[in-house]
Amino acid sequence: MATDIRAVDELRKRTGAGLMDCKRALDESGGDMAGAVLALKKKGLAGAEKREDRLALEGSVFSYIHTGGRIGVLLQLNCETDFVAKNELFQTLGRDLCLHIAASNPCYVGVINVPPAETEREMEVARSQAQGRPPQAVGAFIEGKMAKFHAQVCLLSQPFVKDPSQTVEELVRGHIARIGENIRIGRFARFQVGG
């Protein structure tokens, strides 16, 4: 069965993947657009994981002032080359991340950035709440409580405000796959009048 060029073009627009990758994904999914998107996402995420160890020393600083001027955000977003730093997809990601930080008020970039004392304090609270539960359920209960805590305070663990079906980390990985370079959130600061 020959793949329709309009379907390939539509898939390219949706995913940002290359022409031959889109054609191959549509052929493998029997022309099913949703299946092809899923296959490309899986392939893209695998590609993103390969790039995570590469240095990201270029990038941009983004700023956002929320309507009314009461909340502001500064964000350092790094990539591998200055060419990508000027790319519209990278620029859009930076603006979207600033908007997310303004709305969700994370404290840390990722789980690794949470101070050990704060992590231990939350673990202690989860352990005390787990008392009285069946022994086989305690581990899952504590793990669930810690995941919920990280989703509150860690930027990468939070559901993305524009699309809660994905986390910020998944959003960034998707952009790594589409752009073809490593992208890292360097640091951020959120300012709020009266807060």
CA distance 90 to 72: 20
Query: What is the predicted pLDDT for the residue at 121?
Result: 92
Query: What is the predicted pLDDT for the residue at 1?
Result: 45
Cα→Cα distances 89→16, 63, 94, 174, 182, Å: 10, 16, 9, 11, 13
Residue 180, pLDDT above cutoff 60: yes
Its domain, for residue 133, covers 115-152
Same domain, 95 and 127: no
**pTM score:** 0.70
DSSP conformation class of 76:
E
> pLDDT tens digits for 104-152?
999 999 989 999 999 899 989 888 888 888 888 888 888 888 889 999 9
Same domain, 104 and 158: yes
Residue 13, pLDDT above cutoff 70: no
Same domain, 42 and 67: no
CA distance 174 to 160: 13
CB atoms within 10 A of CB 168: 25
How many structural domains is the chain composed of?
A: 3
Query: What is the predicted pLDDT for the residue at 58?
Result: 84
Question: Which amino acid belongs to residue 98?
Answer: C
> pLDDT tens digits for 44-98?
654 555 555 656 678 899 999 998 899 999 999 999 888 888 999 999 999 999 9
Query: What is the predicted pLDDT for the residue at 24?
Result: 81
Average pLDDT, the chain: 85
CATH of the domain at 77: 3.30.479.20
